[in-house]
Structure 1
Amino acid sequence: MRPIYHYSTVSEALDNLNEMGFSYDFNIHEDEIVNDPHIHQVKHVYRYEGNSDPGDSAIVYGIKSTSGKKGVFVAGFSAKTNSEAARVLDKICIEGSNQC
């Protein structure tokens, strides 16, 4: 089973992922995930829930592509998330061999 990391904040998770080489910003290039989901693997997943407002919930993905590109994608974590890339990553987690 893959280790689960707990962080106090999204920033802390992003800093740690950056230290592990996940420095590419897939939020800026989310079309890469949407257009070619089969070349991406979700290596790390971190969910953050705000203390007072469910709207503060977020999910941080550490992603690696078959080309070796390593980066992060951050999305709101709720039923109302309208990011196509977040839906694709969720599907990768459910259908993929890597259990998210």
Structure 2
Amino acid sequence: MDAMTTLSQTLTALKKEGYTEDFNLKQNYLEGRNFAIRVFADDFVVDKHFRFEGDSSPDDEAVVYAISSVKYQVKGTLVNGYGLYSDSVANELVKALHAKVSPAYSAK
């Protein structure tokens, strides 16, 4: 994938690569929006991730995860804010995501 400069460009490119599910972060699992599935930490891998840093506001900071699950035969994305306003409800799953991530891609 070419270097992406915006979050929306990255999501569009990942959809073209087959990451079509749009995951929501729950307490201890990922929930699919398109399919009624719950994917737990042991059932997925993080294929890629992209970090976006806001120019002037921490509210603009986010990480995009490209996630796949062989068990559920699904590929999708998860967008999660980080920093002060990160979703504290899902800390355990975020820790699992970070544990599965290879060295970061970074976009500005």
Name the TM-score class by shorter chain.
0.7 to 0.9
Q: Which runs of 5+ in 2 are unaligned?
A: 32-37, 104-108
- CA-based RMSD of the aligned residues comes to 2.2
**CA separation in 1, counterparts of 2:25 and 2:84?**
22
1:71/1:83 CA distance change after superposition, 3 Å:
farther
**CA separation in 2, counterparts of 1:45 and 1:18?**
14
* Greater fraction of residues in helix: 1
Q: Which ranges of 4 or more aligned residues in structure 1 deviate by more than 2 Å?
A: 28-33, 85-88
Contact 2:59/2:85, CA 8 A, preserved across alignment: no
Q: Which runs of 5+ in 1 are unaligned?
A: 94-98
* 1:83 to partner: Cα distance: 4.8
Q: Which residue of 1 aligns with 2:7?
A: 10
TM-score by length of 2: 0.70
Amino acid at match of 1:13: T
Contact 1:37/1:92, CA 8 A, preserved across alignment: no
Contact 2:21/2:77, CA 8 A, preserved across alignment: yes
Q: Does 1:41 align with 2:38?
A: no
- Count matched residues: 90
SS at match of 2:24: coil
1:42/1:83 CA distance change after superposition, 3 Å:
farther
**CA separation in 1, counterparts of 2:60 and 2:76?**
22
Q: Which residue of 2 aligns with 1:96?
A: none
**CA separation in 2, counterparts of 1:28 and 1:48?**
18
1:53 corresponds, among 50, 54, 57, to 57
Q: Which residue of 2 aligns with 1:19?
A: 16
